[in-house]
Copies of this chain bind each other. A is one copy, B any other.
């Protein structure tokens, strides 16, 4: 029996928010459907932010409204920045809501215009509202800059653990440790994961990694080795952060899944179908550079496909 690792594809949100060109709603739906066809179990399909903030994601409500009635077998996740976004996401019928908060004050002010402590206060209100609703929609908090910040520099393990403790106490269902700017190294990943888990237990869910310095996949391996079984990633390594200068793309879904499946983990993802999804992405966003090493070489002849 293979052990499960859950991939959440965040390309349609994190990957598109800093794209230089716009992807049409139809193209986004086609891309999301092709990702789902590959067996990706969770897809972050957009963000309920005001359209003026991230115009590329202004059609999130329409995307959700078109996907929900299809009752997909996969989890429709969206990002929401605040209570209003959470309410909109809930009312749209999503399966899961992600909220970014920042460990570092500099990123928190630049990205969210509030201090980390205010994020925890906000999260209490959000959880109170969510728990009062008839439908259970899990909330996953993303602890941004958990491993370093392009504005504040070093972020200590103690800072990250303290924010995660505050989030857990506020009642969030899951927490992702996010290497928003891609400064983490494997020893740090292990240290922060272990320290955070020691404080909040299984509320620590997974890792959101970027490949800024080429360590994205190695950091995922480090996380795996200390028991992490959930990762965010982006097809073709799209993405970045508009408020984190120098941050490059997310860890590449194709390379990460190739590693996981090669090592004997079960992601439920068919890599051949996933590779085909690149063409759908490219058709909808032809100007964007596509990353990933395995897709260039193709699956090696030694790779054993799941039965």
Which one of B212, B222, B294, B301 contacts A214 once the chains associate, using CB atoms below 8 Å?
B294
CA distance in complex: A218, B211 (Å): 12
Closest chain B residue, CB of each to CB of A148: B302
CB within 8 Å of B: which residues of A?
148, 150, 153-155, 181-183, 185-188, 211-215, 217-218, 220-222, 225, 246-248, 252, 254-255, 258-259, 262-264, 292-294, 296-298, 300-303
Between A and B, 27 residue pairs with Cβ closer than 8 Å are A150-B300, A155-B302, A182-B300, A183-B300, A186-B263, A187-B262, A187-B264, A188-B262, A212-B300, A213-B258, A213-B293, A213-B294, A213-B300, A214-B258, A214-B259, A214-B292, A214-B293, A215-B217, A215-B255, A215-B262, A218-B218, A218-B220, A218-B259, A221-B222, A225-B225, A246-B297, A247-B297
Q: Is the pair A214, B255 in contact by a Cβ cutoff of 8 Å?
A: yes
Which 3 pairs of residues, A with B, have the shortest CB-CB distance? Answer: A214-B255, A214-B293, A185-B262
Closest to A248 in B: B297
Q: Compute how far the CA of A254 lies from the CA of B212 in the bound complex, rounded to whole angstroms.
A: 13
